[in-house]
Structure 1
Amino acid sequence: MPKLVLMDHDGAIDDLLSQLLVLTMSDIELIGVTVTPADCYIEPALESAYKLLQIMGQEHIPLGRGDYYGINAFPSEWRARPEIINALPMLINLPKAPDPYAYRSAPDLIIDSLSAASDKVTVLMTGPCSNLVLALEKAPELKAKIDEVVWMAGAFRVSGNVQTFQHDGSAEWNVFWDPISTKKLVELELPLTFIPLDVTNHVPVTKTFLSTLATQIEYKLSNLTGQFWALTLDTIPGYYYTYFMWDILATSYLAMPEQFKTEVVKAKVSTRPPNAGQTYLDETGYTVKIATDVNSEYFYEYILGQFKR
């Protein structure tokens, strides 16, 4: 029986790549996708998400629209990427996507999807956690329907990737966008697995990887994902950041958990400057699991294989 997965992402390039990756997993049934308006503008991001469902012949999977905006906005130039994605040659002429204002609200779709699920559900989050927290505040009994939450978020024993005013650089962006919801999620003590910067720092998007992917260009998904990843080379200026496979690595955990090293720890979340959004280890904190290492060679080979279908 396939594993039931509900995905919440925030429309950036690596989120959309992650949505595609989930759709290639034969032992996964994706029961819904919700989009958070964090690292995206929501309307073009919903169009991108729908077009990827079309590419995979999965338009029946419901999409939910997040309308909650976090505390600390992502830079606008990062958020505009779905506009470019929708103009890529393999996507621009697909049938028109539905009205972006007609979608169900993301928290309501999460509630309905969990309620209707025939078995426990794995929740995959590659953006902030706000939609899930809003859903569980409205229907707390649905905590019992969640098998595991896998979340690309946090930085525990490494520096964060937030560099902005009134901040000491200790936080990761998905947490920083909405530290208060993150604190609430951690305090729920769900079966929560963080895929933090501690492990995503091991899997950069390299030109060697992109070159290998390009040798598979006759395969539709390799061609499309190669175009997506090529757009990351100037998304974050090279002198400032490296683009890593943040969300793709978190998504791969669904298929290859045995390739990760994990650790059960006690942790807390800061909600105030100068370290708002910092996830830190604290023996008086809440129980979570964090990934600390991954078999990166196996991971890269797995990704190349999945996009060769």
Structure 2
Amino acid sequence: MQRILVLMDHDGGVDDFLSTLLLMTMDHVDVLGVVVTPADCYIRPAVSATRKILDLVGRHDVPVAESTVRGLNPFPPMFRRDAFCVDNFPILNEREELLTRRVPEAGQAFMASALRAAPEPVTLLVTGPLTTVAAALDIDPGIEGNVREILWMGGALHVRGNVEMAIESGQDGSAEWNVYWDPIAADRIWKTAVPITLCPLDITNLVPITQAFVRRLCRQRRYPLSDLAGTCYALAAHHDYFAWDVLTTSYLGKPEIFTLRAWETEIVTDGPSQGRTRVVPGGRPIQALDRVDLDQFYAYLFSQWSR
């Protein structure tokens, strides 16, 4: 496959850590760094766990940065505390000292400088809100031309959103969490000319993490990456769980198993539909992952994590 430059921005959920793990197995990808946005996590353990994952896979060359942005609608604490659990997994704590570097500058500043210095356009893999990306563009609007595309897990185009816990505060249930955390930032990105490839709930709803899948991963425990992945998924197995961020990331490794569809869209920034990604004629053109070969997707994960 053609080599590509990737800068990752995740927000510390269980599937974000697994997306990091998957990305690091892709031989054709040169990773400029990983930025952690404080959305679906508590930031300190999320940054620590990310560095430990990079240590596990021997990618000490990939720097980790802590974003300092804030969103409008916080994730529930019960989601965010998973970062503490992952950070304390035994497989991630076999070394006394972390080798992966944590950069001293804020994540949004690091993103801006990394894009500015990149020798060619960079793919931004974003599996959390777009707030850090928007902040980086505010720091240096000129870096927009250095972004090849944004591959984003976000939005719900033709299906219900997943912000049930926000309905009691007046949200109508149409939003997806990564948009809802900061719809203003999403709208900011929608106003750029950067190509956007979306992995919305429309497709992730079709890709559950089943008990059979987790059991098969656990049977591969002789492989450290499968061991970590199975443990992470077991942590989340008490409720419906889908391959949100991992599906998004897999598009970089196996684009041929996906079909895409073009849409014209807008981001709703206020009112009861705040955070909704609405399909509207004349809206901002995007591409969305539409269908995936499930058998090939699951087989790809087993193959990449069998090491």
Report the Cα offset of residue 135 of structure 1. 0.7
Structure 1 residue 78 and structure 2 residue 82: aligned? no
Look up the match of 2:194. 190
Look up the match of 2:176. 172
Report the Cα distance in structure 2 between the residues aligned to 1:243 and 1:30, rounded to whole angstroms.
Answer: 27
- Identity across aligned pairs (percent)? 38
Report the Cα offset of residue 273 of structure 1. 2.5
Counterpart code for 2:244: W
Report the Cα distance in structure 1 between the residues aligned to 2:25 and 2:260, rounded to whole angstroms.
Answer: 25
Report the Cα offset of residue 101 of structure 1. 8.9
TM-score computed with the length of structure 2 as normaliser: 0.95
Report the Cα offset of residue 255 of structure 1. 1.1
Secondary structure of the residue that 1:188 maps to in structure 2? coil
Look up the match of 1:29. 30
Which 10-residue stretch deviates more, 136-145 or 92-101? 92-101
Report the Cα offset of residue 260 of structure 1. 1.3
Secondary structure of the residue that 2:158 maps to in structure 1? coil
Look up the match of 1:121. 122
Correspondence list, 1:229-308, <5 A: 229-234=233-238, 238=239, 242-308=240-306
Counterpart code for 1:254: L
Report the Cα offset of residue 33 of structure 1. 0.5
Q: Residues 28-60 of structure 1, C-alpha deviation per residue, up to 9 Å, x if partnerless?
A: 111111010000011110000100111111122
Report the Cα distance in structure 1 between the residues aligned to 2:103 and 2:123, rounded to whole angstroms.
Answer: 26
Report the Cα distance in structure 1 between the residues aligned to 2:124 and 2:6, rounded to whole angstroms.
Answer: 6
Correspondence list, 1:107-118, <5 A: 107-118=108-119
Counterpart code for 2:204: T
Report the Cα offset of residue 111 of structure 1. 1.1
CA contact (8 A) 1:267 1:285 kept: yes
Report the Cα offset of residue 99 of structure 1. 12
Structure 1 residue 48 and structure 2 residue 49: aligned? yes
Report the Cα offset of residue 96 of structure 1. 3.7
Report the Cα distance in structure 2 between the residues aligned to 1:27 and 1:102, rounded to whole angstroms.
Answer: 24
Report the Cα distance in structure 2 between the residues aligned to 1:97 and 1:177, rounded to whole angstroms.
Answer: 31
CA contact (8 A) 2:54 2:100 kept: no
Secondary structure of the residue that 1:94 maps to in structure 2? coil
Counterpart code for 2:268: S
1:100/1:179 Cα in 2 relative to 1: closer, same or farther (>3 Å)? farther
Report the Cα distance in structure 1 between the residues aligned to 2:98 and 2:181, rounded to whole angstroms.
Answer: 28
Report the Cα distance in structure 2 between the residues aligned to 1:47 and 1:29, rounded to whole angstroms.
Answer: 22
Correspondence list, 1:129-168, <5 A: 129-163=130-164, 164=166, 165-168=169-172
Secondary structure of the residue that 2:92 maps to in structure 1? coil
Consecutive aligned runs of 4 or more in structure 1 exceeding 2 Å deviation? 92-103
Look up the match of 1:59. 60
CA contact (8 A) 2:63 2:103 kept: no
Structure 1 gap segments, 5+ residues each: none
Report the Cα distance in structure 1 between the residues aligned to 2:143 and 2:56, rounded to whole angstroms.
Answer: 32
Secondary structure of the residue that 1:90 maps to in structure 2? helix
Report the Cα distance in structure 2 between the residues aligned to 1:139 and 1:63, rounded to whole angstroms.
Answer: 20
Counterpart code for 1:204: P
Secondary structure of the residue that 1:261 maps to in structure 2? strand
Q: Give RMSD over aligned pairs.
A: 1.6
Report the Cα offset of residue 200 of structure 1. 0.5
Report the Cα distance in structure 2 between the residues aligned to 1:308 and 1:97, rounded to whole angstroms.
Answer: 24
